Structure 1
Amino acid sequence: MRKKIFTMLLLGLALLTQLFYGKQLFADSAEDWQLSFQDPATPIMEGIINLHHDFMFFICAISIFVSWILVRTLWHYHWKKNKYPSAMVHGTAIEIIWTVTPSITLLAIAVPSFALLYSMDEIIAPAITIKTVGHQWYWSYEYSDYTNDANDAVMFESYMIPEEDLTLGQLRLLEVDNPMVIPVNTHVRLIITAADVLHSWAVPSLGIKCDAVPGRLNQSSLFVKREGIFYGQCSEICGVNHGFMPIVVEAVSLPNYISWVANKLSE
């Protein structure tokens, strides 16, 4: 019995050591029964998560207060306890309170909301520009900053890998044959459009969701802070195969990115 308890303690200690001192893992794709956000990889996504957490304080406080008022009212003003209803129909003080207090709360919420909203629209001297085009039902990417001797830019199409071609460890309905590759710690500008119908280019870990509209060029920015593979999907119902055009962004170091571009230009 003592030996069994000692073994369990050792296993628990090993698990705690792995949790606190092991290599950090990131959830950059959706997980089963996931309720929280994916791990952020950009300053924008970090701001979105922090803003959500700040708002949750107000939401919980207001919910608890309103629930307390409702329960107290139902308990103390039940018809069995008050057979003769009150004739009071107006209260200036309470009306001022329940008008001014929500107004102040909304202002406190609005200030950080607008700050984050405008920072998402800001484009800071991009080092790389990538054109993303949505098709039925795949994505294509064009790196117009780089051309080969024939003056051809880096262009490729990104199709979902069928389930029967997946290898062990790959994610169903999320893997593609040609991911979009970008360097870390670099300002990247995305120009997003569509060739046929409405699409939406969305990657949760990067905090980006931008509509792809035929005939219109929308732009957004990326600044990825860590290496990794980030998964997203089209977020605009675009037809029968809407659920089969995933997005994969691979963030690599700058030397690896330069090697990738050189290989693409030599193809």
Structure 2
Amino acid sequence: MIQDPEGLVLALVVVFCRIGGCIMVLPGFSTARIPVMVRIFISVTVSLALLPLMWNDVYPKIERGISNYVLLIAMETLTGVVLGLITRFYALGLQFLGTVITMMIGLNTPPANDILDDTSEGQLTNLITFAGLMVLFMLDFHHQLFLAIAQSYKTWPPGAGFEAQKALVSLVDTLSTTFTIMLRLASPFILFNVLFNMAIGFINKLAPVVPVFFISTPYLVLGGTILLYFGAAAMLSLFGDGFSQVLR
């Protein structure tokens, strides 16, 4: 590697493009709360750590032509973005989960600032999103992802071009798996909402004069909050276990 300093720098840039593209959309690292320079330093550090392992795969693919090298950089960046989106889609499923739970238990609080991004989100959704992301970091999901990036050089070798169909299939499979997992996690709250509203409907038939909507709302929130209190630990545990299905 020292015998060819120019090739060393070119290979480092190629590895940086794939890793930097992944970290650019990676949940937790791509949040607006982390400065851009910190993300760049993380990308450079990981690139330097993985370059010796990826040397035999990257260095032979480097072309001295400017046009070929620019095309290689673009393809590597797209590959890294796709790898990062696989994890980001799974993390974004927490927002879907939080929105469903908020609707099912009737906890329609005013939107607040998102903890991770510069958007407005419900307070319960913020809580679930932050807790789920913290669980992923506790399970070292970023280590697993960096390992997946290293292994991706075997399945998506540099210089072979960007396979749009394979990338689209991977993203669609991730969305399908994420939707199934999040719907399974939200199923107790959906069942609770259906049973509660059926019971309230029967009560309304028996006593039409009673304003059941105003009476039932506090009980709906109370029951849903109790269900969330006892089921939060199991829900987050299942969320962490489902991450391995996404990386397959």
Q: Fold conserved (TM > 0.5)?
A: no
* TM-score w.r.t. length of structure 1: 0.23
Task: Report the structure, 1 or 2, having the larger helix content.
Answer: 2
Greater RCO, CA 8 A, separation 6+ = 2
